[in-house]
Amino acid sequence: MKINFLNRKLKEETKIKAGSNRLVILSFSFFLAFFLFISLVSAIPPQKSIAVDGLDVRTGIQEYVRLGTTQDFHIHVFNSSNGVPIVTGTTCYLHIYNSTGNHIYDGMDSVVSHTFDYGFTVTPTNLTNLERYQYITQCNNTFGAGGYFSGTFTVIPESQSLGIGFYILIILLAYAIAFIGFFGKNEIITILGGMFMMLLGLWLVMNGITDYRTSLTNTVSIITLALGAIFAIWGSIGLLGDDN
Amino acid sequence: MLGNIIGGFIVILVGTALLPTVAQQVGTAQADGNVTGAADTLVGLTTLFFALAIATSSIGIAAQGLRNSGLA
């Protein structure tokens, strides 16, 4: 009787130990994955020409631009030696590049509008992706003076139809169901949670998170998909060996 | 035991209902070209994993039933 009790106690202790080991391994994997998500790159600050007797170029390009909108970018040009606005005899250029360095827009304007503006109209067909774009504006006049201004801007979603809160909620829900099933040793919940995670991962691969489809969202999607597959298979194998 | 059988049937029903959707979405995701390399291969294997989970669950439910009735 006592031996049976001790055996049962030993089995329970071994089960608890195995469960906590599994928890430690999974927690470590998640921490490792989150550390990998930390971006080590940041945007380059805007740069401008520093010629004393050249042209001082300034733009009103915003840091964030909505997808699917026509943008009117403007440039003002000043004489860098005395600060006087220049409105004649000057030609300005605007070039835009995407995140892979491809040339996606180039424009030229030599006639000012609204008294001081050298303007460029960038249509939605030019800015088709949600990513960071690089631009460079340069102006030169007929007397051999010139100047430039370069920077970056980011194209953001047209509208926030599904906010980030929705994505966080749905991702947490999928993970919570699968983890509760997995650690609560309920095979059916584990399988259903795993399937939910697989579907979610697949959906995130195609749609991204709040319309953003970057390598980060792809990584999250693939990890969700893979974990879902592992949970679903693990749960169904557990069901196979269940003696209840 | 009864809970497991009901749960198993829910898994099978939900799984088989969603399997064509999963297969279709996998095809769309792969054709999209957003993911490449190993990630693309994993996306392609999703249907297999999904089907495998349903199949193993079905076998598990059947095995449990047989075991409890003393036939296995």
Mean pLDDT of each 10-residue bin along chain A, 244 residues long: 65 64 62 51 67 83 85 90 88 91 90 91 86 91 88 79 76 92 87 91 83 79 90 85 59
Host domain of residue A110: 47-156
B3 vs A63, more confident: A63
- Which of B10, B11, B61 to mutate to test binding with chain A, by most A CBs within 10 Å of its CB? B11
In the block, which residue shows the tokens 């319309």?
A211
Q: Which of B3, B43, B53 sits opposite A194 (nearest CB)?
A: B53
| pLDDT score recorded for residue A138 | 92
Q: Which residue of A has its CA nearest to B24?
A: A202
Look at the alpha carbons of A91, A96, A101, A102 in this order and tell me if their dihedral is positive or negative: negative
Same domain, A94 and A149: yes
Q: Tell me the two tokens of residue A54.
A: 């050249």
Same domain, A142 and A189: no
Same domain, A125 and A199: no
In this structure, the strands spanning A71-79 and A146-156 are unpaired
Is A56 a domain residue?
yes
Give the ipTM. Answer: 0.80
| Chain B positions with Cβ closer than 8 Å to A | 1, 3-4, 7-8, 10-11, 14-15, 18, 22, 25-26, 28-29, 32, 34-35, 39, 42-43, 45-46, 49-50, 52-57, 59-61, 63-64, 67
Same domain, A66 and A102: yes
What CATH number does residue A118 fall under?
2.60.40.2550
Same domain, A104 and A164: no
- Domain boundary, last residue among A156, A183, A215: A156
pTM, two decimals, is 0.51
How many angstroms separate the CA atoms of B21 and A119, rounded? 49
CA A75-A81-A84 angle, 5° bins: 50
Q: Which residues of A touch B63 (CB under 8 A)?
A: 240
| pLDDT score recorded for residue A40 | 46
- Which of A177, A185, A186, A195 to mutate to test binding with chain B, by most B CBs within 10 Å of its CB? A195
Same domain, A196 and A234: yes
Do B14 and A225 make contact, defined as CB atoms within 8 angstroms? no
| pLDDT score recorded for residue A27 | 62
- Count A/B contacts: CB-CB distance under 8 Å: 101
- Domain boundary, last residue among A156, A182, A207: A156
Residues 6 or more apart in contact with residue B1 via CB below 8 angstroms: A244, B64, B68
- Domain boundary, last residue among A116, A135, A156: A156
Q: Which of B46, B54, B59 sits opposite A202 (nearest CB)?
A: B46
CA distances from A211 to A8, A66, A101, A110, A161 (A): 53, 12, 22, 37, 10
Contact A155, A69 (CB under 8 A): no
B20-62 residue pLDDT tens:
888 888 888 888 777 788 888 888 888 998 998 888 888 888 8
Is A146 at the interface with chain B, CB within 8 A? no
Same domain, A74 and A110: yes
Same domain, A115 and A169: no
Do B35 and A218 make contact, defined as CB atoms within 8 angstroms? yes
Is A18 a domain residue?
no
Same domain, A225 and A136: no
Is A217 a domain residue?
yes
Please name the amino acid found at residue A172: L
Same domain, A177 and A125: no
Is A6 a domain residue?
no
| pLDDT score recorded for residue A211 | 66
Q: Which residue of A has its CA nearest to B26?
A: A202
In this structure, the strands spanning A132-141 and A90-97 are antiparallel
Q: Which of A192, A205, A239 sits opposite B60 (nearest CB)?
A: A239
How many structural domains is chain A composed of? Answer: 2
Do A206 and B28 make contact, defined as CB atoms within 8 angstroms? yes
Same domain, A101 and A61: yes
Is A23 a domain residue?
no
